[in-house]
Amino acid sequence: MWQEKNNQLYRKFEFRNFSEAFAFMTRVAIEAEKLDHHPLWSNVYSKVEIWLSTHDAGNIITEKDKKLAQKIDAIFADTGAGSGKSQTGN
């Protein structure tokens, strides 16, 4: 589930291994490019953290962020990765 933190949407995803995490990021990157809306993210082995905000709107959460978050959720659900593991928080 996405959290609103510091004018950003945040979510942490966990996968079984680096290959699954990287495949997920690749699919997210394709969708982000289609929307011309790119996330701030990090990846360490099997964990991917994503922060979404709209820079053009003053670094706040907009409909663009919510739309990309929905697409990311659908991609994650489609992967079946990590038995559906997803975390929020640190």
The pLDDT value given to residue 89: 45
Is residue 85 scored above 60 in pLDDT?
no
Residue 13: predicted pLDDT: 97
pLDDT tens, 23-67?
999 999 999 999 999 999 999 999 999 999 998 898 899 999 999
Q: What is the pLDDT of residue 56?
A: 87
Domain boundary assignment for the chain: 3-87
Q: Left (φ > 0), alpha (ψ -120 to 50) or beta: where does 70 sit?
A: alpha
Predicted model pTM? 0.86
Position 75 pLDDT exceeds 80: yes
Give the CATH fold of the 3-87 domain. Gyrase A; domain 2 (3.30.1360)
Alpha-carbon gap, residue 47 to 33, rounded angstroms: 22
Distances (CA, A) of 27 to 40, 43, 51, 57: 15, 14, 16, 25
Which residues share a beta bridge with 60?
54
